[in-house]
Structures are given as structure tokens and as C-alpha cells.
Amino acid sequence: MRVGIIGAGIQARVSHLPTFSKIEGVEVTGIADINEESAKLLAKKFNIPNVYTDYHDLIEKDSIDMVSICTPHHLHKQMAVDCASAGKHILIEKPMATTVKDADEILQAVKENNVKLCVVQNYRLFPSIKESKRRINRGRIGEIISMHGYGHVFQSFGSRSTPWILREGSAGIIEDFGAHLIDIILYLNNFNKIKKVFAIGGNFGGNLDSIVHCQIMIEFENRSVATLDLSYLSGAKEIAVFIHGTGGQLHIDVRNDFLRETHQYDTPLDDLSFTLAKLSKITKGIINKTYFLGPKMYHFEIIKSLINSIEKNSKVIITGEEGRNTALVIESALKSIKEQRQIIVDEEF
Amino acid sequence: MENLVSISKTKGYEDILSKISSSIEDVSGLKLSDGDRVLIKPNLCNFRPPSSGAITHPKFLDALLCFLRKNFDNLEITVIESDATASRPDLTLKGFGFDEILEKWGAKWYNLSKNPTIIKRINGLYFKEIEISEIFDNYDFFISIPKLKTHSQTKITACLKNQFGCLPYKNKVIYHKNLDDVIADVNLVMKPDLCIVDGILSMSGGVAIYGIPIQSNLVITGKDPVSVDVVCAKLFGYSPRRIAHIQKSKKSGVGTDRYTLVGDIVDLREAKINNENPFWKRCLLNFGRYLQSRTTLK
């Protein structure tokens, strides 16, 4: 299978290209970026024969089967539509789109041209998230009452590939790291229909026209509620999800990929048991050299699964329809912050 | 007549009506007459959502009422439960949609703690005189529909323990020191004619109100509460001989532990209920609870 890469930034460099190079039968034949220097640098490092400064040339001149879109979020739509129209299968970085309109246009193009599209929501493949999903589906914590996602991450904005997050009209942290948490929350809640979204936050008193911290509240049709607490500013990194169910609670330490299930009447020995299990997991991760790979190690599974679904014409692991839900939350939350009101999804979209 | 206990395997609560119907047939059916007064005792032990596995699921009661209405004419059906030390079933009834189900099938709600009582003399293990609701002097058929759960004190809580909730006295916590004796006594005076255990979503590893919900998809039915509890104990891997309230109820003459299994599952090994926690973890967590219960502020 011949693959083309659009975007020679950090995602292509640290995640997509190293992963493609490890998959047998896959050849990356072209890379496109408006910054020729970056594209050439990656082409040299990963032995890619063709370099383009216009992605249209990549999809027209290079006889590729699949395209990996690793560009800034607001550029995804046009690129994905063009790739689908050219009959190329698409691997697209999260979020697939930042507005519902863009997501719908991508889905329409994908459907009309009968190509496969898979969104890179690699956090969803963390063993702790998969296990949480299994336990939720088995009813181990009963019905979900509420979910709380915490995404406090550091973003330096120092490299070439990040200042676009603060572009005009951007949803900032919501479309950046927030897209991971939104996907985890929606996935674990079985993509239950979203009824309402309300968000507060903003630029933390500075003059940047972007969202650098916020809280998003989501109400679902199954009566459960979710909050997402996001920022670039916190003095301590935190990536976690708490899920409270009628029969128990799950605490997913996403950063350490560790899951803790609790029920009523915990004792200090429960804490000891969980602490030992967590220590053991981290130690094993360090010995196996997987601990510091973190989310990067799950690109392999996503790309393998997309190739498999192209070959067998089966369903992809993370669909465009699921990506649309993330776009819906991103757009609603941004709108809610800007207009300082609750967004009732059925009335707006 | 042979004492039959049926175990039915369900697909969650989807096929519950057909499974209740077939399991009642398995234990040689019901003989009810026109206008009979039927009492139904679910387990509404606390304000816990049905999906927690702590109370009889409203869909289970709905299916039973549907079965009774479709198969018998003019039954006077009353659903009963009592207040407990930390429980007000009137709230549970409204909180989780039971009230709508009762209205739908024309069944009455009767809080045993808020209605007149009578005194009965018995030769019990704990009671010589027992105060019960007067409704137990005025009925034709009593159906117990408990939840299948483990219990920190009695190991399991299923059919026999469900009748403990028929005692109208609110502050039932005072009986917990002699719980096994009290359970045997209440079943002498308020013995169910039919037991259908909601083991579709069961609960394990906790203290009856709290625990780990398990999708076990089982309905256990029988006419003898002792036999039904023996089967329930074995499903959780307990030896019935080590469960005092089962043994005491048997000795008091409530029922027998000799039964024949019928229904979808006739080999109990096929239906073992497991909360997935490894043995070492169960021991550690139980030890922690033991230590906590022994530790007091000095």
C-alpha cells in the first residue's frame, strides 16, 4: 500500500511516519507541506522519495492509496474532501473537524467516493480506556450518572507546529487536548445523543483571543452529565477521567494508563492494593520501555486496523461519525463561551 | 409432590416476561382463582437505582404483573414493602418508576409500616409473639420477588431474607444481632407461596445495599423458599450448610433443602456467579473491612 503524508509537523514526525515505517507492505511515497524545508527534512529521515509543497500535487501526481492528514485542525476539511474526491483512503488526525458543517462535508465526500476514513483518537486504545468500556458495558458500575474529564497539559507554543492553535476563531485547548477527552467521554458513554452543552472559560484575563482554560458541561439523552476541565495553565499536569455509576466508580489515570474501580465501603487496604498495582504497572512499563512512549504506541493499532478495513472493506476502528460528535462538542462549547449561553443541540444543528 | 426449582437464563431484561412465564410453568404453574388477593413483596431495601443491582428491577415487577393480568382475571394485587431503619420505600417507589408500573397494571401499594398490625403467637427461635401487618391475615397467595445478592452478615440475601422486610417495625437494625433466628421466624408466619428471584442483575462483594453489580441473567423460581435459597447460595459458591438462616429455616419447618432442578440450567456449575475480583483481592478487601470495623476512635 502506497501512502502520502500531508503536513510535515510534529504529528508526522513523532507518530505517523515512525509507525508507517514499522508496518510491512506499506510504503510512504510522498510528503507535502507548504514549508518545503520541513518536508525535505522528514523525507530524508524516513526515505520518502517525493516532496511537494502543494498537497494537490501529492494526491494527483503520486499514485497513492491512502493519505495521512497531519495538518492544523482548521485545514482538515478541505484536504479531506479533496483526498476523498480523488479516491484516496484517509487517516486523519484528531479532531477530524472543528465544526459540524466541516465534519458533515467530510462525511459526505467520504460516502460519495466510497473511501475509508479513520480518525486518530489514539487515547481510546489505551488498555485502561478499553477495559473501562468493557466494564461499563458489563454493567459493573451500573448506569453512568456523571463523567468528569481533566486535561491540564502544558503547551509552550514555541515550536512551528503549535501557534496555529491560537489562530483567530480557534477553540484553543478545546480542539487541542480537549478533543482527546471529549472522544473518551463520548466513547465511554456509548456515543449517547448529546442534548445540551454549556461552557465557561477563556483567555484567563490576558489579551489572547483564544481559549486557554475552560470547563465544558454536557447533558446526554440518557440523563447522564459530563464535565471537562481543560487548561494549558495548571502548575501540575493531570489527565484523568472519573466515571460515577449507580453501582460503582471508575477512575482512569489516563497519564499512567491505570484504571481503578471502586465500590462503596473502601478501606485504607483498598488504597494500598491500588497503589501497589499502580507501582507494579509503572515499573513493568519502564522495564518494557513502553512507559515513556505513552499515547504514541497506539498509532500502530489504528493504522493497522485502517489498512485491514481497506483490504477487507470492513468498518474502521474510529469512524467519521464518531469524529463528528467531537466536532459538535467543540463547536458548541466555543459558541457557548463566546455567546455566554447554553447550547441546545437539536435547536442549533 | 416433587419440590422443583427452576433456573432460567435470560437475555438481560429483554425477554423477562417469557422467562417468568416459562419458569412458573417449570415449577408446575399457578393455581389462582377469580378475585384472589395476591401479595407481591419486591426488595426495595433502599434508595438505590435499579441498575445498581441493589433492588428488584422495576422491569421485573412489570413483567410479573403483566403475566398475572394476562393469565388470571380480577386478581386483587397488592405490592408490599416496609420502612426500615435507613429506608423509606415510598420514596424508592416514586424515585425509580415503580408507581407508574403499579398504576399501569392496576396494583395497589401497601406500606406495611404505615398500616394496622396484628400480634401472632409463634413458637419461634427469637419471637414468641410477633407483630405483623394485618394484610397477612387477609390474603390468598403470596409471591416473593427478591434480588439475588451477597450479604456481609448472612452471606446471601435472596428469598428467605426478603421476608425480613415484611416486618412492619421500622427500626429493624435491632434484630441484626439475631438476624438468622429472626429470618427463620418471619418465614414461619409469612411464608411465600411462590418465589421468583431477580438474578438478572445480581450483586456481589458488598454489604447488600452496595456491592459490584453483575449481569448474571438468571431467574430462579420455586415454591419452597428454603430450596430456592439453597440454589442461590450455591450459585455464589457458598455451601448452604454454612449459611445459618437457611439451616435454621429448614429446622423450623419453613421448607426443605431437597429439590429437583428444572429449566434452562440443571447443572449449577453452568451458572456460577463471579464478581471477577481475584481471590487475593477479595481476601485483602474483606480483611480491610474487618480491620475498619474493629477500629474505633479512642
Q: How confident is the model at residue A332 (pLDDT cuts 50, 70, 90)?
A: very high
Decide: helix, strand or coil at residue A2. Answer: strand
pLDDT at position A255 over 90? no
- Asked if A246 and B210 come within 8 Å (Cβ–Cβ), the reply is no
How far is the alpha carbon of B180 from chain A, nearest alpha carbon, in Å?
24
- Asked if B291 and A248 come within 8 Å (Cβ–Cβ), the reply is no
Each residue of B220-274: pLDDT tens digit? 999 999 999 999 999 999 999 999 999 999 999 999 999 999 999 999 988 889 8
Each residue of B126-173: pLDDT tens digit? 999 999 999 999 999 999 999 999 988 899 999 999 999 999 998 988
Cα–Cα distance measured from residue B232 to residue B235, given in angstroms and rounded to the nearest whole number: 5
pLDDT in the model for residue B86? 83
Each residue of A34-50: pLDDT tens digit? 999 999 999 999 999 99
User: What are the DSSP E strand ranges found in A111-254?
Assistant: 117-120, 144-152, 194-202, 213-220, 225-231, 238-245, 248-253
Cα–Cα distance measured from residue A88 to residue A77, given in angstroms and rounded to the nearest whole number: 14
pLDDT in the model for residue A159? 63
Chain B residues whose beta carbon lies within 8 Å of the beta carbon of residue A269: 284-285, 287-288, 291
pLDDT in the model for residue A278? 87
Chain B residues whose beta carbon lies within 8 Å of the beta carbon of residue A266: 288
Percentage of chain B lying above the pLDDT 70 cut = 99
CATH 3.30.360.10 residue spans of chain A: 124-295+328-343
pLDDT in the model for residue A210? 86
CATH architecture of the domain covering A124-295+328-343: 2-Layer Sandwich (3.30)
* Alpha helical stretches, state H, A198-319: 268-287, 299-312
pLDDT in the model for residue B15? 95
Contact residues, B window 210-269, toward A, CB-based 8 Å cutoff: 210-215
Q: What is the DSSP letter of B280?
A: H
Least confident range of A202-211, A218-227, A327-336, B36-45: A202-211
Chain A residues whose beta carbon lies within 8 Å of the beta carbon of residue B96: none
Q: ipTM of the assembly? A: 0.84
Residue of B nearest to A270 (CA): B285
Cα–Cα distance measured from residue A27 to residue A25, given in angstroms and rounded to the nearest whole number: 7
Each residue of B93-127: pLDDT tens digit? 999 999 999 999 999 999 999 999 999 999 999 99
Each residue of A112-143: pLDDT tens digit? 999 999 999 999 999 999 999 999 999 999 99
Does residue B94 sit at the A interface (CB-CB below 8 Å)?
no
Each residue of A298-321: pLDDT tens digit? 899 999 999 999 999 999 999 999
Cα–Cα distance measured from residue A179 to residue A184, given in angstroms and rounded to the nearest whole number: 9
CA–CA distance from A8 to each of A1, A56, A84, B217 (Å)? 20, 15, 20, 53
A240 beta partners: A150, A253
Cα–Cα distance measured from residue A24 to residue A22, given in angstroms and rounded to the nearest whole number: 6
Class of the domain covering A2-122+297-307: alpha beta
To which residue does cell 441498575 refer?
Answer: B51
Q: What is the mean pLDDT of chain B?
A: 93
Contact A141, A135 (CB under 8 A): yes
pLDDT in the model for residue A166? 80
CB-nearest to A269 from B53, B203, B284 is B284
Does residue B293 sit at the A interface (CB-CB below 8 Å)?
no
Dihedral sign computed on CA atoms, order A303, A304, A307, A308: negative
pLDDT at position A295 over 80? no
- Asked if A264 and B214 come within 8 Å (Cβ–Cβ), the reply is no
How many interface pairs between A and B have CB atoms less than 8 angstroms apart?
67
Contact residues, A window 125-144, toward B, CB-based 8 Å cutoff: 138-143
pLDDT, greater one: A311 or A273: A311
CB-nearest to A269 from B52, B207, B288 is B288
Q: How confident is the model at residue A161 (pLDDT cuts 50, 70, 90)?
A: low
CATH 3.40.50.720 residue spans of chain A: 2-122+297-307
CATH code for the domain defined by B4-273: 3.40.50
CA–CA distance from A38 to each of A12, A22, A67 (Å)? 11, 22, 18
pLDDT in the model for residue B289? 77
Percentage of chain A lying above the pLDDT 90 cut = 80
pLDDT at position A184 over 60? yes
pLDDT in the model for residue A321? 97
- Asked if B49 and A143 come within 8 Å (Cβ–Cβ), the reply is yes
- Asked if A142 and B53 come within 8 Å (Cβ–Cβ), the reply is yes
Does residue B205 sit at the A interface (CB-CB below 8 Å)?
yes
Mean pLDDT of A185-196: 98
Residue of B nearest to A138 (CA): B215
pLDDT at position B176 over 70? yes
Instruction: Show me where the domains of chain B are located.
Output: 4-273
